[in-house]
């Protein structure tokens, strides 16, 4: 099996071109290739497959083998792979309302529907940056899902490991719990992360983010990803954090998120209520994995 290792801000996955490869047991393969000691190493496995409704289809499997609905950093890498490996022909230009434009676009089928991405292409015909229209955030508790009261969950108190925490919950096609704090470095993420992820408040488990507001257009965050643990970055999580900061009256709709692996530019558009995420996508290496 041919594979490509790619990352978006250090959020690294093993990518397989299923236009050419057949994967019979992706959950088991994800567990094997993600092992950082005995495998290739990564936060999970992403399959790039044909689609009947878009330029390609993306499937994401976490390091524990569970399938996720969406991955923002992974989607940027998928877009880069599709363009550079000529799996589809890019369409017309793509614009962020009231912001910047990109020279070409692709439509990619995900667990959160078909998402459009804009591509920045350099003089060597390589994709250097990708902007994703992540769609409209989901705020209704039953649709996140989260077993908490109200029409929206904005800084609601919950108790985890004997600690009282205030959570804001958002779905970007996958569920996120955001917690604002003064110092992300002081958070015992290895303890609080899995406890929150697996709490009965969240029937489908949840991604966990601790966020410090640095200014009206700037935030710093750390992430515990559902099914993968502590990661260098989470694209959907950064989008959720930006939405949560606006809902809590802590930040504006356009901001930069600082993650351990680097920065993402975010824009929650007032025009169409969609969240736009812009950041890099990087190929690390290619190789062969023994047949399943």
Hey, what are 250's tokens?
Answer: 């802590």
Out of 77, 131, 169, 234, which one is annotated catalytic? Answer: 234
Whole-number pLDDT of residue 292:
58
Mean pLDDT value across the chain: 96
CB-CB contact of 42 with 30 (8 Å): no
Active site includes 255?
no
Active site includes 181?
no
Collapse the DSSP code of 123 into the 3-class scheme (helix H, G, I; strand E, B; otherwise coil) and give the result: coil
Name residue, tokens 């092992």: 35
The C-alpha atoms of residue 9 and residue 262 are separated, in whole angstroms, by 5
CB-CB contact of 133 with 116 (8 Å): yes
* Residues of the chain scoring pLDDT < 50: none
CB-CB contact of 108 with 119 (8 Å): no
Q: Going from the N-terminus, what domains does the chain have, and what CATH number goes with each?
A: 2-135+279-288 (3.10.310.10), 141-273 (3.10.310.10)
| Rounded (10°) angle between helices 72-84 and 235-247 | 130
The C-alpha atoms of residue 139 and residue 246 are separated, in whole angstroms, by 13
Q: Tell me: the pLDDT tens digits for 205-234?
A: 999 999 999 999 999 999 999 999 999 999
Whole-number pLDDT of residue 92:
83
Whole-number pLDDT of residue 18:
98
- Which of 175, 172, 223 has the alpha carbon at shortest distance from 199? 175
Whole-number pLDDT of residue 99:
83
Hey, what are 108's tokens?
Answer: 């990619």
Neighbour count for residue 149 (Cβ, 10 Å): 8
Whole-number pLDDT of residue 212:
98
**Region of 80 on the Ramachandran plot (φ > 0 left; ψ -120 to 50 alpha; else beta):** alpha
pTM score, whole prediction? 0.93
């Amino acid at each position: 099996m041919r594979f490509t290792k790619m990352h978006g801000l250090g959020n690294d996955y093993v990518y397989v071109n299923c236009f050419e490869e057949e994967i019979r047991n992706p959950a088991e393969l994800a567990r094997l290739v993600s092992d950082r000691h005995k495998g290739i190493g990564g936060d999970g496995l992403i399959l790039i497959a044909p689609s009947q409704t878009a330029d390609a289809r993306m499937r994401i499997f976490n390091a524990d083998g569970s399938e996720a609905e969406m991955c923002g950093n992974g989607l940027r890498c998928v877009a880069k792979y599709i363009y550079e490996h000529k799996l589809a022909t890019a369409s017309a230009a793509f614009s962020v309302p009231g912001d910047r434009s990109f020279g070409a676009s692709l439509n990619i089928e995900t667990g959160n529907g078909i998402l459009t991405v804009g591509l920045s292409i350099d003089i060597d015909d390589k994709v250097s940056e990708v902007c994703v229209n992540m769609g409209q955030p989901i705020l209704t508790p039953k649709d996140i899902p989260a077993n908490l009261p109200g029409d929206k969950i904005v800084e609601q108190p919950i108790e985890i490991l004997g600690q009282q925490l205030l959570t804001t919950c958002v779905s970007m096609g996958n569920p996120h719990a955001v917690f604002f704090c003064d110092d992300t470095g002081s958070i015992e993420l290895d303890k609080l992360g899995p406890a929150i992820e697996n709490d009965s408040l969240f029937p489908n488990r949840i991604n966990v983010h601790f966020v410090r507001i640095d200014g009206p257009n700037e935030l710093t965050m750390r992430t515990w990803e559902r099914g993968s643990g502590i990661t260098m970055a989470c694209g959907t999580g950064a989008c959720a954090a930006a939405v949560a900061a606006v809902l809590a009256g802590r930040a504006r709709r356009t901001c930069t998120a600082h993650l351990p692996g680097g920065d993402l530019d975010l824009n929650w558009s007032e025009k169409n209520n969609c969240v736009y995420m812009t950041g890099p996508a990087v190929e690390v290496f290619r190789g062969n994995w023994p047949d399943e």
